[in-house]
Amino acid sequence: MIKRILIANRGEIAVRILRACREMAISSIALFTPIDKNGLWVSMADEAYEIESYLNLEAIIKIAKEIKADAIHPGYGFLSERSNFPQRCQEEKIIFIGPSSDAIRHAGDKIEARRIAIREKIPVLPGTSPLSTFQEAEKESKSLDYPFLIKAAAGGGGRGMRIIRSFEELKQNFESASREAASSFGDGRLYLEKYLEEPRHIEIQVLADSHGNAVYFPERECSIQRRYQKLIEESPSPFVNDSLRQALGKSALTLVKATGYTNAGTVEFIVDQTGRFYFLEMNARLQVEHPVTEMVTGLDLVKAQIKIASGEKLAWKQEEIKSRGWAFEARINGEDPYRDFLPSPGKITALQFPEGPGVRIDSALYAGYTVPETYDSLIAKIIVHAENRGDAILRMHRALTELHIGGLPTTTPFLLNIFHHAEFQKGNLSTHFLNQHLPELLPPFTEEEVAIAEVIATLEQIRTFVSLPQNRWAVAGRLNNIKEVHEAHHKN
């Protein structure tokens, strides 16, 4: 059994892994950069070591060897999907808590994963082989009808992705997309793929051990996205029925078997309004949204990852994976919705997380912590669980209204407006939901709201307020001072 785990990550996912280690009586070792020296995960860990960058693979391996760590957990982001990470761990006889380097190469490379899906007769959208130059893209684009997507071959998360509706847009976007892909994944190759106008984004969580056993979990609906970044996830999907769920699960396990995949992963699909689905990509790591699966199944995916990496067999058979109730996850980002979602790093002057039945918080925030501008703007996740979707929406609404993060603007009021929206409540979702409804989700300030904001800005110890219609007061109330409120008012 693994006894010492080095966590090669930061923020809320580092805290999440640390907690699993504590419950399994495993020693946890944290890493931190100079800007992260006051991170919550640093103080929570049994040991912590400074590192120049979370992308410095050799430095991470060196520390792991020096402190005699049994295993490394990569979390998500950073080096988690680099195939040379598990390879270097294997060379140094360190357990990598994730798939093998071969599996990452097969499943994590989008082109290779598409090729395997086609071979296994899993539906995919029309697309191209890897492209390194605009000249190649120009030639290959003639085989596709507009619109189509430019996508990074080596990674996901929206990095390097662009919607292309004309030749001029292809010409304008190819080089910048390639640079973004190279910066994010160390690989600037792109490919083109047919674009569906209003699909749903549905994904299947899988677990596979090294003994040939694999299971899939109830689907997650991840259609609420902004710039290809997920904001809200739920399980189950309000659209997926039993037959579609089984078809998606079967396709996901087919890919697991075909790629020799082990540990936790996610197979992502897009689904059109008729229920036809197409393989999108496979993420060879733990997902940000894994808590919604944990909430509806009662199972701990991080502990399962550690056990699989230790050589244990899966603890469950497919028929034992049951879904109970409904779960949502809302990602709280340090961004100002009224300034085009501009990142808002800064010091947390006050903090109140929601509590009560069916509410879970994954975060590394605390009062006095300074959110750095260096990393991703995700600062907390609120996850709720209830008996049905309607009750889960009400519970999330309650949780978001109880949340108070002082000192910087967040996306909390924007998320509240999404959960309040009639079409969202009906389950009428697509990846274009935000684009279609943004004016309703970010209405301009009224004179009354500006006046209210001026009063609120003078009260230093306000924690909770009575909601005005659509909770638009929260946007104004959480701005830092009167001057900012006036600027936002005049802008809108």
Q: List, by residue number, the catalytic residues.
A: 285
Distant-in-sequence, close-in-space partners of 266: CB < 8 Å, separation ≥ 6: 203, 204, 205, 206, 282, 283, 287
- C-alpha angle 406-410-411 in degrees, rounded to nearest 5: 145
What's the sign of the alpha-carbon dihedral 449, 455, 460, 461? negative
408: left (phi over 0), alpha (psi -120 to 50) or beta: beta
Among candidates 281, 406, 240, 392, which has minimal Cα distance to 330? Answer: 392
Stretch (H or E) spanning 264 = strand 263-271
Stretch (H or E) spanning 401 = helix 389-402
Instruction: Give me 470's structure tokens.
Output: 């659509």
CA 468 – CA 462 distance, rounded (Å): 16
Peptide bond into 337 cis (omega under 30): no
Which amino acid makes up residue 147?
P
Reduce the DSSP state of residue 458 to 3 states and report it: coil
CA 54 – CA 50 distance, rounded (Å): 10
Token pair 């996912």: residue:
13
CA 354 – CA 309 distance, rounded (Å): 34
Query: 327: which strand partners?
Result: 235, 385
DSSP string computed for 71-83: EEE--SSTTTT-T
Say if CB 204 and CB 269 are below 8 A apart: yes
DSSP state of 249: H
Query: 207: which strand partners?
Result: 215, 264
| Neighbour tally for 185: CB within 10 Å | 22
CA 53 – CA 34 distance, rounded (Å): 9
Stretch (H or E) spanning 370 = strand 370-371
Pairing of strands 27-32, 47-50: parallel
